[in-house]
Amino acid sequence: MYKIFTIFLLLINPFLIQSARAATWILPPPDIDIFGQIRTTQASRSETLLDIARQYDIGQIEIMLANPNVDRWLPEDGATVILPSRYIIPQGERKGLLLNLPEMRIYYFPEPKKGEKPVIITHPVGIGRMDWVTPLGISKIVEKKKDPTWIPPKSLQMDRIANGEQPYPSIVPPGPTNPLGRHAMRLGISSGSYLIHGTIKPFGVGMRVSAGCVRMYPEDIEALFDKVPIGTQVQVVNQPIKLGWLLDSLFVELHPPLEEDQEKYSNYHGIVVAAINDFLARNSNKRNIPEDFEIDQEALAQAILEKSGIPVLISRSRSQNQLHTQNVISN
């Protein structure tokens, strides 16, 4: 039932804007938390899973979690690859840039022009390693630079020396060896030492590889650079557990917690259950939840086991079943 019902929900999705990379969508109304569409493609011998990820604007860990049985480097010719391009919007203000660290993905809510529908834009990102975490909190974009010069921080230089590597030059000018790529946007935190920038190593997008900055595919930061004005709010959150509504259906999207939070999430199942109960309690006065609404425990257990980063339907009711049956027959 779950698979068929999911297909039905995709058929009625009114929020899709067709594009090659499918990064821009009509922003759902406040009472709907899900947008996007799960798709599939077929691998060929000439490409790796990471090639496919970049082609469809997906991060490395994202595509691996969605395809645990597909070899990262040598996928079988013709193998079906799931493209995890459906998302629950993280909890936070739907304004400016919203970055959720565990899913390594950033969301942008541009101010709509007069007469335009509001949209949401999303891209995968690379974030800070465990020893150089990307800081949580609210800040803003304070500077934008095209073809930036990079001055390596002392901490990064010391790390390279400790690992027996040559330190970077004291100043790296714009060009093909500049780790910032061709575009950088500075955040107004920690004396401006954190950036959202491009990269010359795109395979690190969707992983924890940076010294705290936020890395993007070169084509993504180039597209975002002109859209995001100086002064744009930036929210950085840590939400491995996301819950959201689509009509009267409750979905959960689960990600592995950050390494430094592993102990905190040792009872992952219990934390998810507590999060669901809290979410339903907060929503009980805001929406008309069907009287026969209940959690599908089997679907929930499978979602917790897989932590695939894909929204999973975890609710059921007679009204949902009747709606599903009527539309399956009509289609």
- Catalytic residue list: 197, 213
d(CA 100, CA 279): 18
- How far, CA to CA in Å, does 9 sit from each of 57, 91, 314, 324, 327? 23, 22, 14, 9, 10
User: Would you state the torsion angle of the CA atoms of residues 216, 219, 220, 224, taken in this order, to the nearest 10 degrees?
Assistant: 120
CA-based R_g, the chain, Å: 21
The span from the CA of 17 to the CA of 24, in Å, is: 6
Cα of 288 vs its chain's centroid, Å: 29
Closest to 204 in 3D by CA, of 218, 194, 190:
218
Q: Measuring CA to CA, which residue among 309, 219, 292 is closest to residue 257? A: 309
Q: Residue 120 and residue 50: Cα distance in Å, rounded?
A: 24
What is the total residue count of the chain? 331
CA distances from 192 to 31, 48, 144, 238 (A): 36, 36, 12, 21
